[in-house]
């Protein structure tokens, strides 16, 4: 059974840091693009960050709104685990954060995600 399980969300103040984790299991995800997305109340789910593949080279991409503040990383061991280090958090970062996985290893698009986690809530107070 494929599962993506996010953890690490919580309530923090503006300027604080959080690290989110997503554990992917149930199949081999080493060749999958992995991404973080978020959905704020009343808004659509939006792209935050991805670690994806171009040939055998993995690289990270970020939404402009989080560049320089968020860092995504991944571990491909027995299971794939991805992290999202979030620094200098702002109230506008408040959202449910979702982990996604795409068999299209070069994709960062929401529509291309084959699997989703259930999300973890991040609340940033001002």
More confident residue, 12 or 104: 12
Banded pLDDT at 43 (limits 50, 70, 90):
very high
Strand partners, 47: 37
Q: Give long-range contacts, CB 8 A cutoff, 24+ apart: 50-59.
A: 50/108, 51/82, 52/102, 52/105, 52/106, 52/107, 52/108, 53/105, 53/106, 54/106
Enter the DSSP assignment of 93.
G
Q: Are 125 and 13 in contact (CB under 8 A)?
A: yes
Banded pLDDT at 57 (limits 50, 70, 90):
confident
d(CA 118, CA 47): 16
Give yes or no for residue 120 having a pLDDT over 80. Answer: yes
Strands 115-116 and 46-54, by their bridges, are unpaired
Give yes or no for residue 78 having a pLDDT over 80. Answer: no
Written as one string, the DSSP assignment of 5-40 is EEE--EEEETT--EEEEEEEESS--TTSEEEEEEE-
Question: Measured in whole angstroms, how far is the alpha carbon of residue 20 from the centre of its chain?
Answer: 8
pLDDT at 53: 79
CA 104 vs CA 15, 32, 72, 96: distances in Å = 35, 7, 18, 24
Query: What does pLDDT average to over the chain?
Result: 94
Considering the chain, what percentage of its residues have pLDDT values greater than 70? 100
More confident residue, 87 or 109: 87
């Amino acid at each position: 059974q494929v599962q993506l399980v996010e953890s690490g969300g919580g309530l923090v103040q503006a300027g604080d840091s959080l690290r989110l984790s997503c554990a992917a299991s149930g199949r081999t995800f080493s060749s999958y693009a992995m991404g973080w997305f978020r959905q704020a109340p009343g808004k659509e789910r939006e792209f935050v960050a991805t670690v994806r593949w171009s040939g055998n080279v993995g690289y990270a991409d970020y939404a402009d709104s989080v560049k320089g503040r968020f860092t995504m990383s991944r571990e491909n061991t027995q299971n794939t685990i991805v992290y999202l280090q979030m620094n200098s958090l702002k109230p506008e970062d408040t959202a449910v954060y979702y982990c996604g996985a795409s068999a299209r290893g070069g994709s960062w698009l929401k529509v291309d995600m084959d699997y989703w986690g259930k999300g973890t809530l991040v609340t940033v107070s001002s």
